[in-house]
Amino acid sequence: MADITDINKSKIVLGVDTSGKIASLAIADGDKILANTTVVTKLTHSQVLLPLLKKLLNDVNLTLNDIDAIAVANGPGSYTGLRIGISAVKGLCFNNNKKCAGISTLKSLAMNICTGENSEKIVFSVMRARPDISYFGAYKLNGNNIECIVTDTVCSNEKILKYKQDKGFGSVILVGDNASELKNSFFKDDKSVILAPVDKRLQNASSLCMIALNDESVFDDASNLNASYLQITKAEKDRREIK
């Protein structure tokens, strides 16, 4: 993976994250974040997403024609939120002839911790899936590079504890909306497990932009963009119960 300093400085990327209870939008030009906004919407993404986008573009005096590509969180996360964000991005891409990149929400959360320093960090991204169950992915950060060391999955919180114990990691940073619960329930007395700062703990679309710009092979045609839920939807559960 190329270092962030090797990014094509001329590429402008829009980031969109609607995977949780916030709507986050960002615009990056190479290694510069031109604009970034995050709003707690309580899952009313369909009402706020496009007005936020219009304002963001106006704030930096850009139009959609100036955007080269779009990066969007494709899961895991809220079923409804993901569908809204992905549908909006597909529409924008089809109507404006743009490429897009679907990026793991858990990977993007881990990228929030990136500081560019040449020191290794282990990050556990944890999002609430159900009571005592988390969406979980583990990532290694070094400088501006990010490496997945545990493929995104849905598992019990106890399994995350066991994984940390088995691997014998030194310091681990918890990020995501289930970070506090895991820290208080399983790692309360483990000083090697720390919570990410509050302003880094939830989804931020600027991290989507940085991941996409750091690996431009992720961009593809919008027709190939789909959500990665990691577990079946309620509708699918209900259908199976009926059968």
Range 34-42 average pLDDT? 91
DSSP for 152-207, please give it: EEEEEHHHHHHHHHHHT-S-EEEESTTHHHHHHHHSTT-TTEEEPPGGGSS--HHH
CA nearest 67: which of 47, 92, 36? Answer: 92
pLDDT at 43: 67
Q: Residue 42: what pLDDT?
A: 74
Helix axes 45-59, 79-96, angle to 10 degrees: 50
Confidence of residue 238 (pLDDT cuts 50, 70, 90): very low
Predicted confidence at residue 233, as pLDDT, reads 59
Rounded to an integer, what distance in angstroms lies between the CA atom of residue 197 and that of residue 76?
22
Beta bridge partners of 59: none
pLDDT at position 239 over 70: no
What is the pTM (predicted TM-score) of this model?
A: 0.92
- Residue 236: band (very low, low, confident or very high) from pLDDT cuts 50, 70, 90: low
Q: For residues 21 and 80, what is the distance between their CA atoms, to the nearest angstrom?
A: 11
> Residue written as tokens 């960090």?
121
Report how far residue 163's alpha carbon sits from residue 34's, in angstroms, rounded to the nearest whole number. Answer: 38
- 129: three-class secondary structure by DSSP: strand
pLDDT digits (tens, 9 = 90+) for 181-231: 999 999 999 999 999 999 999 999 999 999 999 998 999 999 999 999 998
Angle among Cα 136, 138, 143 to the nearest 5 degrees reads 145
| Contact between 82 and 203 (Cβ < 8 Å) | no
Beta bridge partners of 28: 13, 33
**Domains delineated in the chain:** 4-105+203-238 (3.30.420.40), 106-200 (3.30.420.200)
pLDDT at residue 117 in the model: 76
| pLDDT (average), residues 37-53 | 89
Average pLDDT along the chain? 90
Strand partners, 130: 133
Between residues 99 and 30, the one the model is more confident about:
99
Residue 26: strand pairing partners: 15, 36
Tell me the β-bridge partners of 202.
none
CA 114/CA 110 separation, integer angstroms = 8
For residue 116, name the pLDDT band (cuts at 50, 70, 90).
Answer: confident
**Quick one: pLDDT at residue 41?**
86
pLDDT of 58 higher than 60:
yes
